[in-house]
Structure 1
Amino acid sequence: MSETRFQVLRRRLVNEAIQQGWRRVRKAGGIAPGTMAADRFGTFGDGSIVGFPTATLYGEKQMHIGEETLIGCWATLAAGYTPEQTTVPPRALVIGDRCVIGLRCGIVAHESIEIDDDVWFGQDVFITDANHGFDDLDIPIGQQLGPHQPVRIGSGSWIGHGAVILPGSQIGRHVIVAAGSVVRGEVPDYSVVGGVPAKVIRTRTRDDDRTRPDAHPELRPRGEYAFSRSKLTGR
């Protein structure tokens, strides 16, 4: 049975009301400077935002977020094993300035995860500085705790969609991690790594720089990101 004109109109209006309402809820629910949610963080920089809704969020007092950093919706940000843990280091999770953390990313810090300035993530990236233990054959793996191993990602790096950064990873500056890679260990500056486990595919050099003055002048950087606030807001 086909809809009447009134039913079609009602369906359209209800749909539009839901769409607009959800957009307003997401905008109002975002964690930004000046909100009580931001005040719960150890540091929350000017111009930064954590999108709403989050998937999991606890241990904010041990988290420090720099300026102009965007963390996408459905993110997991956790410091410690549980919200009640009182032994979490005061700077368990540090995210620098102008970082972008994509949708549905998970960052689980038990002692030390540090992400330097200008690091961009794709979606569904997962990072942790501790994993399950598995040495005791008589205890379920889920009940064993592995060692804490600090993680650091150097400035200017790009972590591709679905990558996993395991405990102990020390990723250098301006590194490219290919989508779906599993990283552990030390990654030198300017490397391109990929695979499971991730291996160095090549090292970027000045010869790769398409924006140097003598090559492709139309691609020279203009001093702001492609998705900078000034482009989005006109200010």
Structure 2
Amino acid sequence: MPKRKNTFSSWRRGLAQRVVHAGWAWAQRTGSVTAEHPGRYRFGAMGTGTRLAFPLGTVFGEPWIHLGAHCVIGEQVTLTAGLMPDLDLGPDPILRIGDGVVLGRGSHVIADTTVTIGSDCYFGPYVYVTSTNHSYDDPHEPIGKQWPRMEPVEIGPGCWIGTGAVVLPGARIGRNVVVAAGAVVRGAVPDHAVVAGAPARVVRRWTPADGWQPPLRTPQPVPIPEGVTPEQLCALSGLDEEAAARLAELDEEAAAGLAELEPGS
């Protein structure tokens, strides 16, 4: 005989789930860190619209961390300046993150010496960037007890860093570079390159003379046809009415701005 379902128990479980999910959503909203609501964190600079999602990872050395505007820092992202908390690192910032940067969930940026991330960089989840590496010069001393080596790291603007990539001390990544998932980057990477592997090597590069070499295997993006309205785009993408209305407002604002720029207006 089939076991009778306990409807009261199922109802209680469903109610508990809704309460837990609502509570967690409230905690995420309330616990996120912004310039207007920094909580206990005192960053050297934090631009308008930047948000660190809750729960945060390890964060210390905030006075020497400068965050640009409109950055999205995912959950469990670690940001550190200095080897340990409560150090005086001098007058200049150690970790600089430009405008519009996205750091994926679980990523680490370890800045024991200067680390610079240019504007509009996108990091996938669990990217690891560090300016410090262990040394093992003395074969008789445990590696963990030997003084580490530190070199500045620079990531140029517009880069896309894939999931699980590692950027080692001394790396200098150029502008608009793609770092493949799982790559281990060291040394210099030129502008407009794609690197992959461990250690990472250039597998594709763009130059004004030759374009992408080897040629891209994916088709070119299809441009939006002229005359397509925001409402039609929203219908194709499944956006709700509120988002469609906002896009329509932006379209009207853009049209008004163009009208003001026309001669005689």
Structure 1 135/215 Cα, relative in aligned 2: closer, same or farther at 3 Å? closer
Structure 1 84/3 Cα, relative in aligned 2: closer, same or farther at 3 Å? farther
Aligned partner of 2:120 among 73, 93, 118? 118
Residue by residue over 1:82-119, the C-alpha shift from the partner in whole angstroms, topping out at 9 and shown as x without a partner, is 11222366311000000100000000001100001100
Q: Could you say which residue in structure 1 is the equivalent of 2:92? A: 90
3-state DSSP class of the match of 1:218? coil
Q: Could you say which residue in structure 1 is the equivalent of 2:18? A: 16
Distance 2:38 2:100 in 1: 22
Query: Is 2:145 aligned against 1:143?
Result: yes
Aligned partner of 1:181 among 180, 183, 187? 183
Aligned partner of 1:217 among 223, 235, 240? 223
| Structure 2, unaligned runs of 5 or more | 227-241, 251-265
What pairs up with 1:190-205 in 2 under 5 angstroms?
Answer: 190-205=192-207
- TM norm structure 2: 0.78
Residue by residue over 1:190-225, the C-alpha shift from the partner in whole angstroms, topping out at 9 and shown as x without a partner, is 010000000000102464599xxx9843399xxxxx
**Retained in 2: the 8 A contact 1:80–1:88?**
no
Code of the residue aligned with 1:182 in structure 2: it is V
Query: Is 2:162 aligned against 1:160?
Result: yes
**% same residue:** 39
1:145 deviates by: 2.3
Larger Cα-atom Rg: 2
Q: Could you say which residue in structure 1 is the equivalent of 2:173? A: 171
Structure 1 50/232 Cα, relative in aligned 2: closer, same or farther at 3 Å? farther
Structure 1 215/76 Cα, relative in aligned 2: closer, same or farther at 3 Å? closer
3-state DSSP class of the match of 1:127? strand
Residue by residue over 1:2-37, the C-alpha shift from the partner in whole angstroms, topping out at 9 and shown as x without a partner, is 542111100000011001100110111000111133
Distance 1:89 1:138 in 2: 38
Distance 2:92 2:4 in 1: 62
Residue by residue over 1:125-156, the C-alpha shift from the partner in whole angstroms, topping out at 9 and shown as x without a partner, is 00011111111112111112222100000011
Distance 1:139 1:187 in 2: 34
3-state DSSP class of the match of 2:39? helix
3-state DSSP class of the match of 1:173? coil
Query: Is 2:111 aligned against 1:105?
Result: no
Structure 1 233/152 Cα, relative in aligned 2: closer, same or farther at 3 Å? farther
Structure 1 158/16 Cα, relative in aligned 2: closer, same or farther at 3 Å? same
1:81 deviates by: 1.3
Q: Provide the alpha-carbon RMSD of the alignment.
A: 2.7
Q: Could you say which residue in structure 2 is the equivalent of 1:61? A: 63
**Retained in 2: the 8 A contact 1:78–1:108?**
yes
1:189 deviates by: 0.2
Code of the residue aligned with 1:175 in structure 2: it is V
What pairs up with 1:39-78 in 2 under 5 angstroms?
Answer: 40-78=42-80
| Structure 1, unaligned runs of 5 or more | 221-229
**Retained in 1: the 8 A contact 2:67–2:99?**
yes
The structure with higher relative contact order (CA 8 Å, sep 6+) is: 1
3-state DSSP class of the match of 1:46? coil
3-state DSSP class of the match of 1:37? coil
